[in-house]
């Protein structure tokens, strides 16, 4: 195996970070680091890099870019897609450069619970459509890495994916979940009322599949002779309507004085709550893995769980399991686990075995082994994708029959056509300014083939890191509105065609100059003006008026090949030569 | 197992090219839709309080539809690339 390129973006995703997927990715990266796997964690933003540096120090980190993929596009490299099951699909689970390099893809399979219960999770038409899209996308991957055998078999069924191409890699538990010799109650403060003595804890969400209703029913069968101070503690944030239903039901059943709902709690509080419990109960009807079971066991608490879905796999011992559909059986399991010391010892032993078995290092080792054994699904020829460029600006006649930005080089479409003719992979980012003219209609004649997007789609529908270079062509015409806005936030190569823009309008756009990777202008005078105007200097290329599209494209291609290696003070002149070469 | 004739390969390649063009047009239409919804959002917020909730519902639906449509193009693009690869393997040529 050469290299594992792991998508690390979910660690700071707005919805995934606090959910299982963000934590799972962090854990898997930790395991890969610990077994010294040949792995690179790919991030998209500085915030993601910061999270990764803080939580998994020692990782090999690289920002997503076509160049990273190109550098590792050799036989034996795998891409590990960690957000295939994260909504919505435009999160870009398999970036285009991965497909372009024909790298084999292994996707982490967390669960297909929404597919199994569409009447609950797919009530929104859009959710149904996205699910319908995800299935064919999943079928294009080479291998799935399931977090449990249950996730593997259900994914094979629901997504019509060959089961023999799915490996179970399991999961692990964070180091913070461990036994304590101190007093965990001290960390809980007022979360637990003073009347609470021994307590049975369950970590649950609001979903019906968590079976908290079943546990509450079971609690009515737990004899009060165990002691009035024995409580059931339901931990987790719950929606107000669900909480109201549960509290009302507990009151009707006469157990309200023996049940505590904690509400939202942070990680430290959760650990303390588990450490102080007499018993942990996980009655869920369906999970992808069942991490709360493992977390409770890791805290040294006797733990019992339901015997269905993946939950039975976690503790992997029949003595620790019960039928979650039978409240009497749940109650009996709770009473035995609270009163029978030999049974408690057996539960603790089962927990210790589970904690030794389910580690992030083991998950990482299982990943590496599975990929080595299975190999790619198809005999694809891995290749180094060509450099991918984007040219942003006005194309064709421009909207309203105007010019194409004062471009003397035959228009942006001419440059793009010349670049494409020379084999470059170029995407046109089309700017129609504030016009309502459909961009596909405005540009269809000018660039009838090849990839094209509106400028405004950048960062939303396509990502800046999809490209090696983005060249933003700026003129003074209003149609450049979207381009001039984009260059303030995305580092680009600014190609300033309209000389007046430098002095008249660009003074207000210095932010673009400060983050620009390079600037391309039409005269040495303009180059000097820019050098004086911008706080941050970057290499400057001078392409004088009259240079044709083919020559412009050649100069641009050479410039982009060189620019990352040039000194920031460089000013290069394109033929016809003006005064001097690189300074 | 059937054989793939040369004319079949050519026909499939044409299908791939046609699908690619569809993808490119969706990319543009969706972004334009997204922009239009954003603009309408601003307009409505500034002048039509009574219909605001209804409009917000529609605009959110349109936004999600835009996301889904782009997701569809991502899936189609990947399938096209893999199809290209198999076509090339069948015909013994380099994929585009």
Tell me if A453 and B27 make a contact (CB, 8 A cut-off): yes
Half-sphere exposure of B5 (CA within 13 A, CB side): 3
What is the per-residue pLDDT for A420?
87
Binary contact (A452, B28; C-beta < 8 A):
yes
Interface A-B, measured as beta-carbon pairs within 8 A, has a size of 94
Q: Determine how many CB atoms are found less than 10 A away from the CB of residue A536.
A: 10
Nearest-CA distance from B51 to chain A in Å?
Answer: 22
B32: nearest CB among A92, A378, A454: A454
Which pLDDT belongs to residue A291?
A: 93
Please, which pLDDT band fits residue B50 given cuts at 50, 70 and 90?
low
Q: Residue A326: is its pLDDT beyond 50?
A: yes
Q: Is A454 an 8 Å CB contact of chain B?
A: yes
Predicted confidence at residue A417, as pLDDT, reads: 86
- A423 inside 8 A of chain B by CB: no
Residue of chain B minimizing CA distance to A101: B81
Of all residues in chain A, the percent with pLDDT exceeding 90 is 53
Please indicate whether, in this complex, the C-beta atoms of A89 and B71 are within 8 angstroms of each other: yes
Of B63 and A312, the one with more pLDDT: A312
Confidence band for A395, pLDDT divided at 50, 70 and 90 = confident
Give the rounded percent of residues in chain A with a pLDDT score beyond 70. 88
Determine, for residues B29 and A457 on separate chains, whether the beta-carbon distance falls below 8 Å: no
DSSP helix/strand/coil, A94: coil
Half-sphere exposure of A123 (CA within 13 A, CB side): 3
Q: pLDDT value at position A579?
A: 47
Per-residue pLDDT at B40:
72
Considering the entire predicted model, what is its pTM? 0.85
Q: What is the dihedral of CA B13, B14, B15, B19, to 10 degrees?
A: 100
**Model confidence at A362, in pLDDT bands (50, 70, 90)?**
very high
Highest mean pLDDT of the ranges A308-312, A475-479, A493-497: A308-312
Q: Which of A102, A440, A449 sits opposite B29 (nearest CB)?
A: A440
Residues of B within 8 A of A454 (CB-CB) are: 27-28, 31-32, 35
Asked whether A73 and A103 are in contact (CB, 8 A), the reply is yes
pLDDT score recorded for residue B9 = 64
pLDDT value at A444 more than 60: no
**What local confidence, expressed as pLDDT, does residue A445 receive?**
47
Sheet hosting strand A61-63, strand order edge to edge: A61-63, A39-43, A4-7, A78-81, A105-109, A143-146, A166-168
- Asked whether residue A450 carries a pLDDT value surpassing 80, the answer given is no
Which residues, listed in sequence order, are joined to residue B65 by a DSSP beta bridge? none
φ/ψ of A473, rounded to 5, equals -95, 120
Question: Which domains does chain A possess?
Answer: 4-172+363-374 (3.40.50.2000), 185-356 (3.40.50.2000), 388-573 (3.40.50)
Instruction: Indicate the residue of B31, B35, B68 with minimum beta-carbon distance to A130.
Output: B68
Q: How confident is the model at residue A577 (pLDDT cuts 50, 70, 90)?
A: very low
Of B25, B72, B78, the CB nearest to A99: B78
Instruction: Say yes or no for a CB contact (<8 Å) between B68 and A460.
Output: no
Answer whether A88 sits within 8 Å of B67, measured CB to CB: yes
Taking the CA of residue A387 and the nearest CA in chain B, the distance in Å comes to 15
pLDDT range class, residue B48, cuts 50, 70, 90: low
Check whether A410 has a pLDDT greater than 60: no
- Which tens digits make up the pLDDT trace of A107-158? 999 999 999 999 998 888 778 878 888 888 999 999 999 999 999 999 999 9
- Once rounded to an integer, what is the mean pLDDT over residues A499-528? 75
Quote the pLDDT of residue A320.
Answer: 97
Helix H or strand E encompassing A408: none
Residues of A in contact with B74 (CB under 8 A): 89-90, 92, 94, 137
Q: Does A105 score more than 90 pLDDT?
A: yes
Asked if A460 has any chain B CB less than 8 Å from its own CB, the reply is: yes
pLDDT of residue A504: 46
* CB < 8 Å from B in window 427-446 of A: 430, 436, 438-440, 443
Reply yes or no on whether the pLDDT at A368 is more than 50: yes
Task: Please check the confidence at residue A199 and state whether its pLDDT lies above 60.
Answer: yes
B23 has pLDDT over 80? no
Q: Using beta carbons and an 8 Å cutoff, which residues of B are at the interface with A?
A: 21, 24-25, 27-32, 34-36, 61, 64-65, 67-68, 70-72, 74-75, 77-79, 81-82, 85-86, 89
* CB pair distance less than 8 Å for A90 and B74: yes
Q: Look at residue B10 and tell me whether its pLDDT is greater than 70.
A: no
Between CA A320 and CA A296 the distance in angstroms is: 13
Distance from the B37 Cα atom to the nearest Cα atom in chain A, whole angstroms? 12
Q: Mention every residue, 6+ apart, whose C-beta is less than 8 A from residue A349.
A: none
**Residues A536-564, mean pLDDT to the nearest whole number:** 88
Residue A399: the pLDDT is 38
Angle at CA of residue A29, ends A24 and A31, nearest 5°? 95
A401 pLDDT band, cuts 50/70/90, is very low
A521 has which bridge partners? A542
- Between residues A546 and A448, the one the model is more confident about: A546
Does the structure show a pLDDT above 80 at A87? no
At B73, is the secondary structure helix, strand, or coil? helix
Cα–Cα distance, A149 to A52 (Å, whole number):
29
Residues of B in contact with A104 (CB under 8 A): none
């Amino acid at each position: 195996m050469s290299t594992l390129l792991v998508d690390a973006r979910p660690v700071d995703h707005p919805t995934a970070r606090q959910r299982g997927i963000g934590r799972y990715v962090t854990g898997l990266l930790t395991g890969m680091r610990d077994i010294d796997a040949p792995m690179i964690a790919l991030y998209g933003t500085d915030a993601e890099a910061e999270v990764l540096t803080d939580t998994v120090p020692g990782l090999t980190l690289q920002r997503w870019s076509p160049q990273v993929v190109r550098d590792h596009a050799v036989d034996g490299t795998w891409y590990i897609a960690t957000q295939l099951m994260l909504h919505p699909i435009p999160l870009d689970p398999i970036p285009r450069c991965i497909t372009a390099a024909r790298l084999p893809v292994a996707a982490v399979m967390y669960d297909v619970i929404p597919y199994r219960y569409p009447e609950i999770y797919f009530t929104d038409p859009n959710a149904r459509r996205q699910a319908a899209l995800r299935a064919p996308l999943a079928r294009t991957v080479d291998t799935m890495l399931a977090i449990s055998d249950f996730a593997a078999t259900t994914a094979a069924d629901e997504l019509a994916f060959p089961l023999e191409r799915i490996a179970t890699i399991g999961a692990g538990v964070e180091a913070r979940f461990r036994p304590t010799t101190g007093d965990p109650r001290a960390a809980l403060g007022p979360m637990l009322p003073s009347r609470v003595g021994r307590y049975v804890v369950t970590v649950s969400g609001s979903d019906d599949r968590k079976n908290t209703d079943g546990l509450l029913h079971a609690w009515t069968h737990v004899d009060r002779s165990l002691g009035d101070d024995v409580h059931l503690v339901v931990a987790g944030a719950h929606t107000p309507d669900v909480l109201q239903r549960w509290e009302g039901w507990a009151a009707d059943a006469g157990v309200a004085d023996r049940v505590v709902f904690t509400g939202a709690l942070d990680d430290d509080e959760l650990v303390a709550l588990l450490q102080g419990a007499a018993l942990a109960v996980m009655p869920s009807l369906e999970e992808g893995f069942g991490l709360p079971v493992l977390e409770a066991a890791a805290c040294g608490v006797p733990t019992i769980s339901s015997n269905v879905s993946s939950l039975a796999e976690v503790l992997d011992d029949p003595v620790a399991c019960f039928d979650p559909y039978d409240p009497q059986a749940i109650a009996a399991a709770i009473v035995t686990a609270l009163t029978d010391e030999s049974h408690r010892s057996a539960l603790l032993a089962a927990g210790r075995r589970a904690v030794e078995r389910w580690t992030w290092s083991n998950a990482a080792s299982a990943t590496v082994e599975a990929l080595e054994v299975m190999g790619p699904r198809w005999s694809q020829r891995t290749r180094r994708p060509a450099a991918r460029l984007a040219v942003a600006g006005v194309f064709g006649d421009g909207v309203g029959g105007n010019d194409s930005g004062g471009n003397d080089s035959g228009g942006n479409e001419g440059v793009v056509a010349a670049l494409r003719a020379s084999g470059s992979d170029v995407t046109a980012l089309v700017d129609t300014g504030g016009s309502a003219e459909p961009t596909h209609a405005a540009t269809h004649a000018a660039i009838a083939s090849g990839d094209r997007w509106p400028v405004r789609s950048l960062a939303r529908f396509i990502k800046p890191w999809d490209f090696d270079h983005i060249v933003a062509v700026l003129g003074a015409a209003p149609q450049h509105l979207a381009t001039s806005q984009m260059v303030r936030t995305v580092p680009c190569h600014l190609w300033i065609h309209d000389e007046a823009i430098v002095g008249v309008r660009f003074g207000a756009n210095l932010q673009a100059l400060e983050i620009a990777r390079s600037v391309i202008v039409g005269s040495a005078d303009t180059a000097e003006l820019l050098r004086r105007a911008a706080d941050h200097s970057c290499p400057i290329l001078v392409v004088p008026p009259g240079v044709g599209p083919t020559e412009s494209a050649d100069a641009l291609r050479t410039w982009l090949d060189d620019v990352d290696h040039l000194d920031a003070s460089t000013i290069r002149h394109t033929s016809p030569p003006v005064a001097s070469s690189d300074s | 197992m059937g054989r793939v004739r040369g004319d079949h390969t050519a026909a499939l390649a044409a299908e791939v090219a046609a699908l690619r063009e569809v993808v490119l047009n969706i990319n543009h239409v969706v972004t334009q839709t997204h922009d239009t919804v954003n603009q309408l959002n601003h307009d409505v917020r500034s002048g039509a309080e009574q219909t605001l909730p209804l409009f917000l519902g529609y605009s959110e639906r349109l936004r999600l539809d835009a996301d889904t449509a782009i997701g569809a193009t991502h899936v189609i693009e990947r399938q096209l690339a893999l199809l290209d690869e198999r076509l090339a393997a069948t015909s013994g040529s380099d994929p585009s």
